[in-house]
Structure 1
Amino acid sequence: MAVIETPHTERPSAARKSSRVTALGIGAAVLAALCLLPMLAVFYAAITTGTDTLNALSQTVLPRYAGTTLILVILVALGTFAIGTGAAWLVTMTDFPGRRFFEIALVIPLAFPAYVMAYAYTHVLDHPGIVQSTLRDVTGWGPRDYWFPEIRSIGGAALMLTLVLYPYVYLLARTAFMGQSASTFFAARALGKTPWQAFFQVSLPMARPAIAAGVLLATMETIADFGTVSYFGVQTFATGIYTSWIGMGDRGAASQLALGLLAFALILAVLERQSRGEAKYHASRIETMGRLHLTGLRRKGAVLLCALPVLFGLILPTIALVLMGIGSEQDLLSRRYIGFLQNSLSLASLAAVLTVCAAVVLGYFQRVHPGGKATAALYIGRLGYAVPGGVIAVGLLVPFAAFDNAVDAWMRATFDISTGLLLTGSIWLLIAAYMIRFLAAALGSYEGGQSAINANMDAASRVLGKTTYGTFRRVHFPILTPALLTAMLIVFVDVMKELPATLIMRPFNYDTLAVQAYRLASDERLEGAAVPSLVIVAMGLIPVILLCRRVGRQR
């Protein structure tokens, strides 16, 4: 009897397995297509639109867009490399007073959006700010009697971006330095090299792939930035896209500018991927290196070099924002601000949940069905991080606006009914843009948690009769829960800070904290902009604290 029943009990299971794997594959294909849609739409709109506006721009501001974007990228790359690498080596390889404090404090500026940093420093350093006002009061100088660096400049924008983006380099470089064996460093010392020579000739080249990856992440964030450069009046491709779309109402020109920015971003993404596979090294025996004890001027220099990024990237802007917020007339408990907060929280929460679900579908499909299709879907899903929010916004609005207009025209012609805009201008299209933009961050966290699940666990679960879905629910999900929660938190905060996509795609009269801060700052009401900015920073501290705890457990 048992022999007869065995096939009948196994066949439904096999059928269910097949259907679920197929459903997983369909889900992965749909997600990959959605992630690819903005790039294809931008390309199509750019090549099928007239070039009249673009020709006019090429004779006026387009060279300036290209030049300032390139200069900004170079300055931020150099700044983040110097600060991030130097601070990482000092706190990892040397011992000096305050080292444990700086290990954590050097990561916290990552919680600040660059445009919030710009608001704080403009309030302090601009002509009516406290620094120049005090200088005039003390010296008796008039406005034309002295020279002071202009904060609203490409140099000021580069400084703001460097202060908030160097933690990318710091975190990756510190991890690389901690993973190095002491034997190579001691070998260089035995050959007569000083500690600093050993650092530049041995430790730094070994950590180059990780450092390059951090610098390239910072540069990709730089070309995607809109709030800082817009507020400082620095004309880049990001500001050009917004001006063409909103100011000129020319979607074709915006698509063409977006295509240029997309090409630059994808080049950086390819370089970042290549940097991971180059300059590899292997240590036959890992030996933890003791820290070099610094004395005298070197000790003071290490404290100063680590204190400066913390001072200018954390302490001063926080104090400035708090003082600005106290002197403002903004009330966080008012109905208007509660609406901003609710809009921000609802968008961020929905985007975080859906983005993590998308990451699970793509990641689990790769595990269940490894192959070319799954690998391609994963790679396409990661591309969104290299695409600026403004490009994604343009790439989604163009095809969905065409779809809405076509449906409306058909309904008018057939039933004499106007459907209006069904998808364009909805929060769901905005959430789709967030998901595409931040799916790579969720995938990174998911894959980190999945690496702890041995393939034998899957095999044991299948032997015990669990289906693909059952294996994920009973085996994977309990183990992945911390990684998934971390991914949700990171995406949540990234959405809270996102500005260009929100500005372009938000529904009418649906403002967030980031939009309110940008609007008040654009009206030169910096004290008012400090209030929503502080809330955004407070939200950003949560994932940074988690990163700090992880960094502290690595050694």
Structure 2
Amino acid sequence: MTMAVAQSGAGVDRGRALRWGAALVALVVLLPLLALLWTAAQGSGDLWPNLLRHVLPHALGQTLLLVLGVGVIAGIIGTGTAWLVAVCRFPGRGLFEWALLLPLAIPTYIQAFVYVDAVHPLGPVPTLIRQVLGIASPRGLWLPEVRSLPGCIVLLGLVLYPYVYLTARAAFLVQGSSVLEAARTLGAGAWESFFRIALPLARPALAVGVTLALMETVNDVGASEFLGVQTLTLSIYSTWLNRSSLPGAAQIALFMLAIMIGLVVLERWGRRHLSVANVGARVRPPARRQLTAGAAVLAIIGCFLPVLLGFLLPAGHLAHMAWARWQFTGFPVSVAQEALNTALFAAAGTSIALGGGLLVALAGRTGALRTGLVPRLAGLGYAVPGTVLAVGLLVPLAAFDNLVAAASSQMFGMSTGLLLSGSGAALVIAYVIRFLVIPVGGLEAGFGKISPSLDMAARSLGERPRGVVRRIHLPLLRPALGTAALLVFVDCMKELPATLMLRPLNFETLASHVYAEAARGTYEDGAIAALLIVLVGLAPVILLARLSRPTQD
């Protein structure tokens, strides 16, 4: 009896510890947002009217036009290609099924970096076109200006459409053949079946994919700056660093955060009352429609162009520039150090994010969390752009440093100086907050596949809770842990806005090196670093291609 009571008390203590630990993780995510409110309130009374007159109107207009344009392009390309590979049969369909994901390997700022170099009047693309057309002078050939708002919209759409493609393709595959067959028996043609049946049913998935693409659009800073588009993200960066106004940057960040919240609310609204259930033992995948010769050619072109423009052309030009630079100077020593910096910081952020995600997911598994609020708050960081997160982190980090320095001076007579502010720790914290949603969601899904009966069986055999986690949960969660680790690592490696604003002085990563070379116009010097980012970025694309492959074809 005494032992049972002791075990019950230990279980209560363990549940309380998990609950408080998960709450602490959520508090760390919320702290920058609370600090952002406090920082914005410190601005002088005339700061906000100045922003309203001179900064926000233009930046907001550019941002809204960019978001609208990217949403339209990503939605059309992603939905159209997803429909073709999901329900149509044509030569090369199996190849395009995974090749359409390749643009995800190229960050938006590298896409802009490559296209600015490739299509300038003396670049390889205009030169090739002039040679084919027999035009001698560069002024004799007109091409659309890449450094413009339309150019930025097209380039971001070509990189971000896979978010829509992934969710739309999954939605089309799970709709089942019975729905489309019923429409055909009622006389609906292919186009009518798509617009009146398949597309409305896929609206929840499309809303998720488009929202993810728009979040990445709002978070972008490198591509918009290279292409001359003054977005809210870029305004935060310039207001803080160029005008030395942290409250002004915080006020713009709050305005931008409101837009992100609006995107999330819009996504939820788009999915309201749109849950679709399939009744039956197993959903039969849709029967693929054999396209005619002409339609098959159009389908091949429609699937090939996004891959060509979104991956093959920029990756090929990047590889050519990197090879030319390698032959001229060899592998730069600075790039090797930057690659090491990138790997170390990304690994640190990944390790801490996995630990925090496991803590939150484990608290939910054991019932220590009474609601799903804590996991949602822990995953809130992904909706916060890197620039907004960087501004919000400054105040709590500085407060912690001042507190430790004051305590050290009082107790030991010496100041510790800055421990977190301006150090690599600040950047790692930003990585963890921004990408914590990946391990939280992945591990919650992994726990969902582990039967609770395994836990009860282990406990009935005398295994302690820690032993259950170590000997049962962790081995079974290994695929989810590996997937989350890979995704977080690559996202940390590619993250540019937070890296630019929080990295220590005289510290470079591959992303910041590419940005610096592009800002100077020396694109060739950043080619090797950019190519390394793209090559590492291929790993999660390959993983996504394997995970999203249907079990039946």
Same fold (TM over 0.5): yes
Opposite residue 401 of structure 1, the aligned amino acid is: A
Structure 1 distance, partners of 2:479, 2:271, is 26
SS of the residue corresponding to residue 327 of structure 1 reads helix
Kindly report the root-mean-square deviation, in angstroms, between the aligned alpha carbons of the 2 structures: 2.1
- Pick from 280, 283, 287: which aligns with 2:284? 287
Map 1:176-215; keep pairs closer than 5 Å: 176-215=171-210
Kindly indicate whether the alpha-carbon contact (under 8 Å) linking 1:331 and 1:337 is maintained by their aligned counterparts in 2. Answer: no
Kindly indicate whether the alpha-carbon contact (under 8 Å) linking 2:19 and 2:369 is maintained by their aligned counterparts in 1. Answer: no
Say if 2:494 is the partner of 1:500: no
Structure 2 distance, partners of 1:426, 1:337, is 21
Residue 134 of structure 1 and its aligned partner are, at CA, apart by 4.3
From the superposition, tell whether residues 247 and 414 of structure 1 become closer, same or farther in structure 2 (CA, over 3 Å). farther
Opposite residue 474 of structure 1, the aligned amino acid is: R
Map 1:307-326; keep pairs closer than 5 Å: 307-326=304-323
Structure 2 distance, partners of 1:337, 1:331, is 12
Kindly indicate whether the alpha-carbon contact (under 8 Å) linking 2:354 and 2:481 is maintained by their aligned counterparts in 1. Answer: yes
SS of the residue corresponding to residue 216 of structure 1 reads helix
Structure 2 distance, partners of 1:204, 1:260, is 33
Q: Deviations over 1:24-67 (max 9, x none)?
A: 12211111100001111111211232243443232223211100
Name the residue aligned to 2:422.
425
From the superposition, tell whether residues 241 and 331 of structure 1 become closer, same or farther in structure 2 (CA, over 3 Å). farther
Opposite residue 350 of structure 1, the aligned amino acid is: A
Moved more, 405-414 or 302-311: 405-414
- Pick from 470, 474, 480: which aligns with 1:473? 470
Alignment gaps of 5+ in structure 1 = 1-6
Say if 2:117 is the partner of 1:123: yes
- Pick from 101, 105, 108: which aligns with 1:107? 101
Q: Deviations over 1:153-205 (max 9, x none)?
A: 11111122111111111111111111012111111111111112111110111
Name the residue aligned to 2:366.
368
Opposite residue 187 of structure 1, the aligned amino acid is: A
Say if 2:221 is the partner of 1:226: yes
SS of the residue corresponding to residue 420 of structure 2 reads coil
Map 1:391-406; keep pairs closer than 5 Å: 391-405=388-402
Q: Percent same amino acid at aligned positions?
A: 41
Moved more, 142-151 or 407-416: 407-416
SS of the residue corresponding to residue 283 of structure 1 reads coil
Name the residue aligned to 1:3.
none
Q: Deviations over 1:309-345 (max 9, x none)?
A: 1111111111100111122268674432221011100
Alignment gaps of 5+ in structure 2 = none
Residue 393 of structure 1 and its aligned partner are, at CA, apart by 0.7
Structure 1 distance, partners of 2:446, 2:528, is 36
Structure 1 distance, partners of 2:411, 2:547, is 60
Moved more, 434-443 or 415-424: 415-424
Q: Deviations over 1:129-154 (max 9, x none)?
A: 12334455655465655532110111
Residue 284 of structure 1 and its aligned partner are, at CA, apart by 2.5
- Pick from 71, 80, 89: which aligns with 1:86? 80
Structure 2 distance, partners of 1:537, 1:58, is 39
Opposite residue 186 of structure 2, the aligned amino acid is: L
Residue 121 of structure 1 and its aligned partner are, at CA, apart by 1.0
Kindly indicate whether the alpha-carbon contact (under 8 Å) linking 2:79 and 2:164 is maintained by their aligned counterparts in 1. Answer: yes
Structure 2 distance, partners of 1:274, 1:367, is 29
Name the residue aligned to 1:4.
none
Kindly indicate whether the alpha-carbon contact (under 8 Å) linking 2:74 and 2:157 is maintained by their aligned counterparts in 1. Answer: yes
Moved more, 438-447 or 313-322: 438-447
Residue 275 of structure 1 and its aligned partner are, at CA, apart by 4.2
Residue 448 of structure 1 and its aligned partner are, at CA, apart by 2.1
Residue 123 of structure 1 and its aligned partner are, at CA, apart by 1.2
From the superposition, tell whether residues 259 and 332 of structure 1 become closer, same or farther in structure 2 (CA, over 3 Å). farther
Map 1:214-253; keep pairs closer than 5 Å: 214-253=209-248
Name the residue aligned to 1:338.
336
Say if 2:30 is the partner of 1:69: no
- Pick from 429, 438, 461: which aligns with 1:464? 461
Moved more, 308-317 or 143-152: 143-152
Structure 2 distance, partners of 1:211, 1:339, is 41
Structure 2 distance, partners of 1:259, 1:554, is 44
Kindly indicate whether the alpha-carbon contact (under 8 Å) linking 1:332 and 1:531 is maintained by their aligned counterparts in 2. Answer: no
Residue 476 of structure 1 and its aligned partner are, at CA, apart by 1.4
Residue 354 of structure 1 and its aligned partner are, at CA, apart by 0.9
Structure 1 distance, partners of 2:123, 2:13, is 65
Structure 1 distance, partners of 2:55, 2:399, is 29
- Pick from 351, 354, 366: which aligns with 2:352? 354
Map 1:258-273; keep pairs closer than 5 Å: 258-273=253-268
Kindly indicate whether the alpha-carbon contact (under 8 Å) linking 1:182 and 1:287 is maintained by their aligned counterparts in 2. Answer: yes
Structure 1 distance, partners of 2:4, 2:279, is 48
Residue 353 of structure 1 and its aligned partner are, at CA, apart by 1.2
From the superposition, tell whether residues 554 and 254 of structure 1 become closer, same or farther in structure 2 (CA, over 3 Å). farther
Map 1:481-496; keep pairs closer than 5 Å: 481-496=478-493
Structure 2 distance, partners of 1:478, 1:274, is 39
From the superposition, tell whether residues 414 and 382 of structure 1 become closer, same or farther in structure 2 (CA, over 3 Å). closer
Say if 2:149 is the partner of 1:149: no
Residue 405 of structure 1 and its aligned partner are, at CA, apart by 4.4
Opposite residue 170 of structure 1, the aligned amino acid is: Y
From the superposition, tell whether residues 297 and 354 of structure 1 become closer, same or farther in structure 2 (CA, over 3 Å). same
Structure 2 distance, partners of 1:454, 1:156, is 51
Opposite residue 203 of structure 1, the aligned amino acid is: A
Residue 22 of structure 1 and its aligned partner are, at CA, apart by 2.1
Residue 404 of structure 1 and its aligned partner are, at CA, apart by 2.9
Instruction: Report how many aligned residue pairs link the two structures.
Output: 548
Kindly indicate whether the alpha-carbon contact (under 8 Å) linking 2:130 and 2:141 is maintained by their aligned counterparts in 1. Answer: no
